[in-house]
């Protein structure tokens, strides 16, 4: 019987990072193993699970480049005020299932 050992970095992480890079994503490959310095992974400590500063920066970039951002925000406000007629396509665009 043949033994098959999967290297998480070589067989999973690295191919995914390569694929994301080909799609235009900004990729930061920290290499195999566990990083010793939290700053290399944009953290002040390894207890920091959510990279909130990086997330906020990404959202700001989306707001600046997406012409639909303002329309989506306005639609959400109208939905909260219940002044928007039912439109399943709009809900789908906002990621809300209406099935």
Per residue in 44-90, pLDDT (tens digit) is 998 888 888 888 888 787 777 666 767 777 777 777 666 556 666 76
Q: What is residue 95's predicted lDDT score, i.e. its pLDDT?
A: 65
Mean model confidence pLDDT for the chain: 79
Q: What is residue 23's predicted lDDT score, i.e. its pLDDT?
A: 93
> Which residue in 39, 69, 68 sits closest to 54, CA to CA?
39
Evaluate if residue 7 carries a pLDDT over 80. Answer: yes
Q: What is residue 41's predicted lDDT score, i.e. its pLDDT?
A: 87
Q: How far apart are CA 26 and CA 86, in angstroms?
A: 38
Long-range contacts at 5-13 (CB < 8 A, ≥ 24 apart): 7/32, 9/33
Evaluate if residue 2 carries a pLDDT over 70. Answer: no
Q: Percent of the chain at pLDDT above 70?
A: 69
Domain coordinates of the chain in residue numbers?
A: 7-64, 66-99
């Amino acid at each position: 019987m043949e033994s098959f050992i999967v290297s998480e970095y070589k067989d999973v992480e690295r191919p995914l990072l390569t694929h994301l890079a080909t799609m235009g994503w900004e990729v930061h490959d920290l290499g195999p193993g566990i990083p010793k310095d939290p700053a290399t992974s944009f953290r002040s400590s390894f207890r920091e699970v959510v990279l909130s500063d990086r997330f906020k920066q990404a959202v700001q970039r989306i707001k600046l480049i997406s012409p639909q951002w303002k329309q989506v925000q306005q639609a959400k406000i109208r939905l909260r005020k219940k002044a928007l007629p039912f439109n399943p396509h709009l809900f789908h665009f906002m990621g809300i299932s209406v099935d």
